[in-house]
Structure 1
């Protein structure tokens, strides 16, 4: 699939992105789907730490899936 690449040199993300687009696969859609699934299962603070995003961004994702974590946070 990645013929002609040098194994000693890392593959640039843009090359992978273009190759996936030619095959009809979008990386952004998969990443967003996995982030939504994760946002439905964990509180925003944990989502922010796991994905490396800001707490405001993680809060937006958890509000998008409409999960309320106040009971979990109060029990901790």
Structure 2
């Protein structure tokens, strides 16, 4: 889809050749990307709900990763990651014990 978008740019997205700009979604001002608010509007028009999808992705990650790793990976405060984990029902109380025995299970 990205290659198709680059090959078939229309309107303001046509300003400059693809090799002239580093942006996948160039804005109306040369050298600037399209703003996230405008991208959000465009996604809504085609039925994609970025905030809802983002929340779903975060809660899925929170069920699969310990809060400390989630916080470090996403660059959020540990308290926020813990809140996501608790809201998603993730239980990482036994994570350290599980990791410490993984090597032993292989023998």
TM-score by length of 1: 0.82
Candidates 28, 32, 35, aligned match of 2:51:
28
Greater relative contact order, per chain length (Cα 8 Å cut-off, separation 6+): 1
Alignment partner, residue 50 of structure 1: 73
**How far is 1:15 from its partner?**
1.6
Unaligned runs of 5+ in 1: none
The residue number in structure 2 matching 1:67 is 90
1:37 aligns with 2:60: yes
Unpaired stretches in structure 2, ≥5 consecutive residues: 22-30, 101-107
Task: Please say which structure displays the higher CA radius of gyration.
Answer: 2
1:48 CA drift (Å): 0.8
**Mean alpha-carbon deviation: is it higher for 8-17 or for 28-37?**
8-17
Q: CA deviation at 1:3?
A: 2.1
- Report the RMSD for the aligned CA atoms in angstroms: 1.9
Q: How many residues align?
A: 76
